[in-house]
Amino acid sequence: MTLNRLIFPLSEHAMPDWMERTSLRGILETEGSAPSDEALYRNLDRLHPHREAIEQELAEREKTLFDLDDTVHLYDLTSTYFEGEALNNPQAQRGYSRDKRPDAKQVVVGLVLDRDGFSKAHEIFEGNRQDRTTVKEMLDSLEKRVGSKPGSTVIVDRGMAYEEDLEQIRAHKYHY
């Protein structure tokens, strides 16, 4: 999955076909057919509980591999909706739909990148969560995973830039 993301990014659904068209199995010395897209989805389910540690480790490695500016962070949100009822996902809720699907349950995904586009932290929020209510939680996650330098800047869009939200950013010693 990692090689696919680096070489030719595809969805998990398309990845088995990609694996069959490459020499990946020969390089990795594996036999049999490519894993099903369902197996790949389950892989992500196993990784998700460890995302904090993974993000911390990646941030540490990036510091030793690259000379990245860690004083500017970009924070934004998107959403993804579910076909069906999503009964096993308590975060799946109806809310403001960026996809113009108010009939579908969704989750909201928050992502912080550095100025070079490296991911620093992400969180998955309830689908009915207002953008502006995610700022404090995301800044807490960012601090836990990569730390913060006094005077760092967090760039948010206007949907999160209410005065009381900006106070949360200042409380974390960030500029906005």
Q: Domain segments of the chain: what residues? A: 1-67, 68-176
Residue 15 has pLDDT above 60, yes or no: yes
**Per-residue CA distances from 115 to 24, 124, 162 (Å):** 32, 22, 23
Position 173: which residue type?
A: K
Write down the CATH number for the domain with range 68-176. 3.30.420
Q: Read off the pLDDT of residues 55-113 as tens digits, 9 standing for 90 and up.
A: 888 888 888 898 888 889 999 999 999 999 999 999 999 999 999 999 999 999 999 99
DSSP 110-130: EEEEETTS-EEEEEEEETT--
**Predicted TM-score of the model (pTM):** 0.75
Task: Identify the band that residue 5 occupies on the pLDDT scale cut at 50, 70 and 90.
Answer: confident
Cα(17)–Cα(150) distance, rounded to whole angstroms? 47
What would the two tokens of residue 130 be? 């207002």
Q: What pLDDT does residue 146 have?
A: 84
